Structure formats: structure tokens, C-alpha cells
Amino acid sequence: MKLVVQVMGARDLPAMDLNGLSDPYVKVQLGKQKFRTKVVKKTLNPYWGEEFALKVEDLNDELLISVLDEDKYFNDDFVGCVKLPVSQVFDARNKSLETAWYPLQPKSKKSKNKDCGEILLTIHFSLNNSFADSASDGGDIGFESPSRSFSGPSESASPVRVRQEETPTFKEEKLSSQKTFAGRIAQMFNKNPDTVSASSSRVDLIELAETAKSEVYESTSEDQSSSVHLKN
């Protein structure tokens, strides 16, 4: 079992420094387990808002919560403390002590300053192991990271596939160029481009080009002979 102690804040603490203020922090102790909060500078009404989880081995143990004043040059000054039997929390309703202000007690009854202020605490048992506890124990948590378990389609897969489908193949480009070349030759002879097959072989195109060259040559020869005839 875990005993969870939430150290919220304190109020009306006695001034421990010459400036009329204190630099308070809290120590939480259960058996050999010890924790402490951060130090809040120059205040008599600090707020910590920290939580600690302590392992309970014996219900007869006593929870000790102490408030101290940090001193840079000497030992830290004791402000006050709260002592609670662990069994008191265990026997409480829902095994929890509601958030409440606890009066801080002086170190001894002989202390001159008996007004030590109050501390705001929430104390309860945690019967279920947390995620962190299960992880530290090496147990199987049964939890997967969303990035690992996500099995959706890749965002780059679709655009790549579309580009591949829209890009013409090399054969299609070759046929297109053949259609254009055949169409130009057909226009030279006033022929319908559709009559020239787009799938004609390279030999057919060469023969068609040679025929065009021959007809152009014959036409040129006839023009020259007619020109000579007119001169005579």
C-alpha cells in the first residue's frame, strides 16, 4: 500500500529571520523514507502544492511532517510539526483524511513560541498501484504508446501512387511522338493523318519520308523543264 501526502501550503508561520519573514520548506518522513519540498523564499504564508507517495510496511508507524526555515549560514530553524499515526488514516472513511488545516506543534512543550502556524494537508491511501509503480516493479502494464500502436496508412503513400498513375510511360511517349511525326508527313501530301497508323514501324516512316523527298524532287524537275520551255 502507498500513503499519499499532499502538502498544499501553510499560513501564519512565525518569522524566523531578522527581516521578519521566513524561507520555509517541508520535510515528510515515514520510517526510513524521507522527502522534502522546495523552499519558498521570504514568506509567512507559503504555497508548495507537492505530493509524495510513501510505502507503508507497518500501520503502527507514525507520519511526521515538519516545517523548517532554511538558513544559509547556520542550521535550519525548526518551525513546527504534525504527527499522525498511519492507522488513523487507514481507519478513516474511504481510508482518506479530507483536506484540512493542521496546527503545527512546537518541538517541545517548553518552547516559548507555541503559536507555530498551520499547514494544509491531504492524506489518503492509494490501494491501486499507479502506472509508475507498475513500471518500476517490472510488471506487464499492458500499455502501448499511441505512435507504436497506430497502424493507419502512410500519408506519403497515396500521393506517390497518384503520381505514378498519372505519369505516362516511355512507350506512350514514343507512340505520341510517332503520331506527331506521321501527322506532319501526311499533311505534306494532303493526306488524312488518321490513315497513317500510330503503330507503324520505323521502316514504314523512313519509306514514307523517302517517298516525300522523291515527289518533291520530281516536282522541282518539272518546274525547271517548264521554265526552260517558256524561255525557248
Do 84 and 29 share a structural domain? yes
One domain, residues 216 and 110: no
pLDDT of 181: 52
- 173 and 112 share one domain: no
Domain contains 64: yes
pLDDT score recorded for residue 110: 76
Query: Looking at the domain assignment, is residue 198 inside a domain?
Result: yes
**Can you give the residue range of the structural domain that contains 217?**
158-227
pLDDT at 193: 47
| Count of structural domains, the chain | 2
Residues 176 and 122 in one domain: no
Does residue 75 share a domain with residue 25?
yes
Q: Is residue 70 part of a domain?
A: yes
Domain final residue, candidates 137, 170, 197 = 137
Assess whether 15 and 111 both reside in one domain.
Answer: yes
> The domain that contains 37 carries what CATH number?
2.60.40.150
For residue 192, is it within any domain? yes
Burial class (CB in 10 A: 0-12, 13-18, 19+), 174: exposed
Q: Does 14 share its domain with 54? A: yes
In a domain, 67, yes or no: yes
58 and 99 part of one domain: yes
- Mean pLDDT in order along the chain per 10 residues (232 residues): 96 95 98 97 98 96 98 93 97 95 91 88 82 36 28 34 40 51 53 46 50 51 48 46
- Asked if residue 113 and residue 172 are part of one domain, the reply reads no
